[in-house]
Structure formats: structure tokens, C-alpha cells
Structure 1
Amino acid sequence: MQIKGIHHVSAITANAKQNYDFYTNILGMRLVKKTVNQDDTSMYHLFYADAKGNPGTDLTFFEIPRAGTTYKGTHSISTTSLRVKNDKALQFWQERLTQFEIDQDPIEEHLNRKVLGFRDPEGQRLRLVSDENNYGVPAGDPFKGNSIPSENGITGLGPIHLTVANAVPTKQVLTEILGFREVGTIDNQIVLEAGEGGNGAEVHIEERTDLSREKPGRGSVHHVAFRVEDEEELEKWRTVIQKAGFPNSGLVDRFYFKSLYFREPNHILFELATDGPGFATDEDMDHLGERLALPPFLESQRESIEASLTPLDTSQSK
């Protein structure tokens, strides 16, 4: 049993069309699945990833049209990192974000690697991180079906930044229950890694006693998922988490992967998700994300589900 790294991050948008335009046309990620929130089918669930939708590359969004402003604070997944090949790629992105007037920070050294912080149009806190000196979990394959040169393309998810009022219990859950290893403390952040380590398997914990609890809205993160091998291993993790005294969802079939959810003591929602079966389960790899995909248990409701959604043309996703 071993957590292999970051599986996906799920965030909130108030406008699926604008969100789709930004993450595909500006950031050059591939929409690998256009589906719905299985717990509330009235909202889109969009999955952006690398060329093949590999686990560890998915940044997903629930569309909540009435989502309000996010008031930043603790109990939060406060920054999501996106990996690029090297430091040179960061220079490309600095110029591209400037071209499209995207709010950004200067390139800087952060936790011994070059990073470029920026915000999407809804204030989603993002950071491009260079794999120049990286090791460990391999990156994904950048999507080539866009205007971004492949050598500069986004290759997956990088370190996840948590902001908490008390770092001790969160660290204990990650290390003593989920098996993360402490790498050290840099820039007042506790750095943990799982599996093969590196950018694709790190969680950074920042303790802030000067902030109040975050009020989530558009541009906030809903949960982070960690990779497990398969359903058999996920069942073992369920037993471990249950014995540790954490209420959990039990195994949930998301069709594209199996999941288990629980909240750690600072109320951040963690998910464990299997690597498979993957996004090509119900769509051809060459045509991912072009139509509304529904898992078999929702297919009988397709007509009513489609009627409740604002049409979203994703034909360019191929």
C-alpha cells in the first residue's frame, strides 16, 4: 500500500464556458471529459489534463453559477501547481500570460525550484513549477492539439499547498496514516512527499494563525485527490482510515476511477482515487471531451440532464 502522488484537484467555477476558454485556449490543456457532478447532475464537471488524461494531470472544475467571492484563509487548498518541463518554459509562460493580461507574479525561486504564480480570471490561485531539477513521479504528455509548443506545454499537477491554522494534525494524517514522508521545512512550509516523490507527489503545509477560515466560492479548491493503484488497494485504505477514526464515504464508483473521501482535522477534503480505468472507458482517445459523457448509471437520465445544462460547445477539444 502506497500513495503514488497527486491524482487530481477539483475546484469551483461560476462560468463553464469562460473556464473552458481559459484552460484550453490560454493554458493549452486538453479537456478530457465533459460530464456532470454525479452528486448534483445540474452542474457541469469539466476535467482538464495532459494529452491522454493520465492520473496526476487532472485539474477539474464544478460549475456553480451562483458561486460567490472566495475570501482567502485557512482550512484551504490555497494553491495548485502545474508542471512544465524546465525553467525556459517559465519564460514562455511569463510572456504568454502578459500577452493575455493575466494577473501574475515574477518568476521566483520557491522551495528550491523556479515557479511562476498567477491567477485565472476568477482568482483561482495557480503556480507553474519547473521540472528542471525534478526527480520522482514522471510528468504526463503535453497536449499537442493547440498553439502551445510541446516543449512548453503543461505536463501535470505539481505540489499542492495547504493553508491551516494548526499544521500538526494535518501533518499527522498525511504522515502517520497516508504514509507521506517529511522532506523538511522551507520558507515556513512543511514539505511532504509520497511514492517516488518530486513535484508530482508533494504536499506543502503552511500554518497561519493570523488568518480566519476561508470562505470558498468561485476560484476556490473543493478537494485534492491522491493516487492509489487499484480498487483492491483502495479497500485496504478504507479500513486504515476507518480504524483511525475518520468518517469516510466508503468506496464510490466514479466510473472513470473509484474513490474514497474523508476530511482531515483542519476540515480539508481528501480523496483517494484509483489510477484506472481512465477517461477512454466511454470515449475514443482521439475524441475525449467533445460530447457530454455520462456514466452508465446516469445514461437513462440524459435527456433531463442535458435540458438542465447550458449548452457548451467543446468540439475543439480534439
Structure 2
Amino acid sequence: MTSADFTPVQGLHHLTVMASDPQRNLDFYTQMLGQRLVKVTVNFDDPGTYHFYYGDLTGKPGTIMTHFPWPDAKRGVRGNGEVVAAAYSAPKQSLEFWRKRLGELSPQESVRFGDTVLRLEDPDGTWVELVFDAEGEVSPVDIWPDSPVPAKHALRGFHSVTAWVRETAAVRDLLVSQLGFSEAAQEADAEGQRTRFMGSGQHVGLYVDAVERPGQPRGSFGAGSVHHVALRTRDDAEQQAYLQSLTAADYAPTPVQDRQYFHSIYFREPNGVLFEIATDAPGFADDEAVDELGKHLKLPQWYEA
């Protein structure tokens, strides 16, 4: 079975990162970037650790950045075999607003595939990027009305992620041959040869960039490191089809994991990047009203006792 036998993956669902101080993390993503805290729960595999989810008003797939804050954690080191940057879409006319807003953080400005990009570090050193592109004009996110960022300048969900890899061919085999992405563009930049892959969705979270860096060292996991990138699938049946096809292709995906707000399978591609395929449903309003999202500690039923 190949991706041609069922619906291609839409694009990005969420990104999960290790953090250190939880208050610094909360302040940066809600007060600086204007994202809503849509869920406070625990790491289901390590329930002594918080799990924060940030996104748009309702936590739509393609807008969600999640963090495990481990206080006093040692900072990670970027390298091959991991996602090193997360990029949000922003309206083109908002470039000057964000230049001023982020000025004290000294963002680096560049042009990538014709779009202006601002890159900065969050409090733990994670590269966060803002891409000022056409998708930022039409992205169908639900703007959080209580955001400190005016609605006309609000971030429009994810644009892309960047992975550093030893060889791009292995990423191409996974994304194009197995998951139905298309290869969209290539260019050389300061990091290496960058190849962009595009999911089948519309306007939000469409792109995975692979930067080929042969002979460079692998990353060292710690605070600021991306643990995994999750891709979108619509429902359990579609996910099950991918579970079967990825197993047949020797990616050794995990059994389906119940993450309360979506169902997940995990697997690595040959460079070492950890991917997840997550379902769109049931979503973050499954256990609390939209108006209450992020205001209460929510636990899965098996931890309530």
C-alpha cells in the first residue's frame, strides 16, 4: 500500500518541544507571540511533568505548539536528525509591526523562497520563525480575541518546520512516497541545501523543509529541543491505513496512542527525525468549553484517581 491508495497527509498538526521554566515559556508564547493557552495537562508518559498546548482560539490542528517544561533542564544542542525550527505564518503587511515587537529579541531577517523570514529564539533557545507570506492573508485560523497582539497582525498558525538531516533522499522517500506530500521547491541557503515538501491541505501548516548537512554532528536533546513533529490525518480509519503502510515499509510505527484530544502513532525516518501522525478529532474542546480552554488542569480519565 502507498499514499496513492488513500487521502494524502494534510500537513502539520502540532510540534512538541522540551522547555525548562514553565512561567517563562507561558509568558513568551501567550504574551509575546499572542498564542492562546488552550490546554494544561500532563505528559501522558511522564505524568509528573506539565504539558502546555498553545494555538489559536480553539486549538485547530496546524496551530498547536506544545511544551514539556522540565525546570532546570540542561539546554539542548541543535544538530542533524531533528527539527530545529518552527515557523508561523504572518500577514505580509504586518512585517514592520513584528520587527518592532520583537526588536529587543534581535531577530535575524532573511528571505526564503521569496518570503521575508524573522528568526528569533524562545527563552530556551528554540528557533521560532515568522514567515510573511500569502498564506498569512487567508489562513482559516480562529483569532484569539483576548490576545495582546492586534487581530490584524495575529499569527496565522504554522507555516513550516525545518529539519536538519544527513541526506534529504530519506525524507523524500517518507513524505512523498509514503505520505503523499509533493516536492515544492529547492534552494541553497546559509544552512545547506533546503528542500521544501508540501502537504495536501489548504493555507495552514503545509510545509516541511529538509536541510541537507552531510557530515555534520547529530543534535543533543535538552531544553529547547524539538521532541517530534506531528502530521495531520483526518480520522482513525485514515490513521490505521498509514499504520499498516508504514509498518509494511519498515518504519516500525508504534501502536496507536490515545492522547485524549487526538490519537497518535510515532516513527523515525532514517536520519533520526521523530514523526507522529495525529488525528484531527476529537479536539481540545472535548473535555471543556471553548471559553474555558486552558484555564484548568485537565487529566485523562486513567490519571484522575
TM-score (norm 1): 0.89
Give the one of 12, 18, 25 matched to 1:6.
Answer: 12
After superposition, the CA RMSD in angstroms is: 1.7
Residues 8 and 225 in structure 1, CA contact (< 8 A), matched pair in contact too: yes
Structure 1 match to 2:255: 250
Structure 2 match to 1:23: 29
The ranges of structure 1 where at least 4 consecutive aligned residues each deviate by more than 4 angstroms after the TM superposition are none
- C-alpha separation in 2, matches of 1:161 and 1:120: 16
User: Following TM superposition, by how much is the alpha carbon of 1:233 offset from its aligned partner in structure 2, in angstroms?
Assistant: 0.8
Structure 2 match to 1:196: 201
Task: Could you tell me which runs of 5 or more consecutive residues in structure 1 were left unpaired when the two chains were aligned.
Answer: 301-318
- C-alpha separation in 2, matches of 1:105 and 1:299: 45
Give the one of 115, 120, 129 matched to 1:127.
Answer: 129
Residues 5 and 137 in structure 1, CA contact (< 8 A), matched pair in contact too: no
User: Following TM superposition, by how much is the alpha carbon of 1:83 offset from its aligned partner in structure 2, in angstroms?
Assistant: 1.4
1:43 aligns with 2:49: yes
Task: Could you tell me which runs of 5 or more consecutive residues in structure 2 were left unpaired when the two chains were aligned.
Answer: 1-6
Letter of the 1:282 counterpart: D
Residues 285 and 293 in structure 2, CA contact (< 8 A), matched pair in contact too: yes
Tell me the matched-pair count.
295
- C-alpha separation in 1, matches of 2:138 and 2:280: 14
Structure 1 match to 2:265: 260
Structure 2 match to 1:152: 153
Residues 231 and 274 in structure 1, CA contact (< 8 A), matched pair in contact too: yes
Give the one of 47, 54, 63 matched to 1:57.
Answer: 63
- C-alpha separation in 2, matches of 1:273 and 1:190: 24
User: Following TM superposition, by how much is the alpha carbon of 1:92 offset from its aligned partner in structure 2, in angstroms?
Assistant: 0.8
1:103 aligns with 2:112: no
Structure 1 match to 2:87: 81
User: Following TM superposition, by how much is the alpha carbon of 1:252 offset from its aligned partner in structure 2, in angstroms?
Assistant: 0.8
- C-alpha separation in 2, matches of 1:83 and 1:21: 20
Residues 90 and 115 in structure 1, CA contact (< 8 A), matched pair in contact too: no
Structure 2 match to 1:167: 168
Give the secondary structure class of the aligned counterpart of 1:200.
coil
Per-residue CA deviations over 1:5-34 (Å, capped at 9, x if unaligned) read 100000010111110011111111000000
Structure 1 match to 2:178: 177
User: Following TM superposition, by how much is the alpha carbon of 1:66 offset from its aligned partner in structure 2, in angstroms?
Assistant: 4.0
Structure 1 match to 2:4: none
Residues 136 and 196 in structure 1, CA contact (< 8 A), matched pair in contact too: no
Per-residue CA deviations over 1:209-256 (Å, capped at 9, x if unaligned) read 252111121111110000001011111110011110121211111110
Moved more, 135-144 or 248-257: 135-144
